A and B are shown apart, each in its own frame.
Chain A
Amino acid sequence: MGADPTILLGAVAYDPKVVSIWEGIREHFRAQGAPMDFALFSNYERQVEALLAGHVDVAWNTPLAHVRVRRRTHGTSLSLGMRDSDRDFRAKVLVRRDAGIKRLADLAGKRLAVGSRDSTQARILPLWFLTRQGVDLARVKLVPFDTDLGKHGDTGTSEIDVLKALHEGRADAGTVGDLIWVGEQAAGRVDPARVEVLWTTPPFDHCMFDALPTLPATKREAFTRALFAMRWEVPEHRRLLELEGLKAWMPPREEGYASLEAALDAGFDVRPAP
């Protein structure tokens, strides 16, 4: 008898929809002849440990979790795929129009609302990019929204909190990811008379399917084959892709995580959630 061919995937349950997403994708994988099951974790720290311990075959990781896996495996981990929407992510530095902030240097002495401390797009990278632009964070009053710690910003709650604080005048400036920014504008939930963009960060990449280098080639091949067979044009696939926030799965690439690596090296890492 050979080894169980079922690929065990880890995902973090940041929302009830996660169950629908992976139940649906599991059905699709089975139809593709790639048996898969999933285990849900309450936070990315636990999921990373489970992957490193070999308890799951593949982990659907945030950029922070991905970079931690790269480091813990000395760069030998396997990256299997990402969403189209994970590529060329950016963060926005928003300001209130009445705050008198015309350039990044004007942030000194102002209140800057930031997302959860483990959110790559709403906290870690915008702050790191600001320091690279010469902003002295010691002179900025951070207004942090540390919600859903352990979920690495997946819920978007802290970014919505940042936007709310800006609209209500509880902050002069704030940092959010560009997806939330464009999505909230398209939904008509941003008042352009009050809030505008001051600065946009350079691009960085977001989530990644990670595996250990010991993942059997058959599982690796089955996983990527089934994953990349999902099509926006197919109604059953489209429902799942919409839930997961993408239109197409893309091959992996590492260069998009260089800025996060550098930020962690510069001490922007956060303590894992308890």
Chain B
Amino acid sequence: MSLNPMIDQWYPVAIATEVTQDSRETQLMGTPITVAGSETGIPAVTTAEGRVLPVRLRFGHVWTSLGAPEKDLFEIEEADQPGRRLVDVGVVRVRCSPLRAVENFLDIAHFPFVHTDILGAEPHTEVEDYTVEIREESDEVWATQVKFFQPQAAKSAEGGITTEYMYRVPAPTCSILYKTCPPRPGEWDVIALFVQPLTEELCDVWPWMALFDDDSDLTDLIHFQQMIFLQDRSILENQIPSRLPLDPGKEIPTRADLTSVAYRRWLKRHGFTYGAQLVAQ
């Protein structure tokens, strides 16, 4: 899978505040890289051969690219909105395709079974109709008007509520979730999953949040999100095939999987196939 268009994308490779203390040896799409702190405050990212890669500091993380990105890193307007708490949740390594990690994040139907009594509960398992589109202008996948009954939708939620969601995929390994903000109706809580592809079947996942929540302790917010993500991890590591199939045949989608279908279609359209299985086997 050489010269995949995915090399021209931006990827998270470290938490910005952690690089000042230590340099991080890691890899990006199979290429070993070093993320090192520097006196300028902007970390330096280099390959083993000494090639200097472009760097962005955004959303609490260090971003880089192995290729020549045509576009700058996508925007999340809420990141600059006053009053929000920006939370670096911390890295978690998962033995799965980076595309699988994003696809699982987009799935609503698994809530009652994997996040039982938190993000979902039986018998409230129905996924109501929602809208999915590939927005041509921004070239992003969006799912809107997603509604789901949740016993404890957020750390700040008291008791069960019907939560409204929007999902957005602005880059092949990044997904942003907008959800009802219990203490601030009219605003959306933002929960993002930034995935660093180490290889086609191994990734480092960097969850990040921008929330309106003045009451919860920061540690509680981190632990809530880590709890949710770690409930997914063991399932992600056991999915077969381990790469995300982009052609129909191996997996049969249902209506609830419309977002996943659109995501796969969008990946295929762009040739974003690092971590994908192309021919149905």
Partners in one complex: no
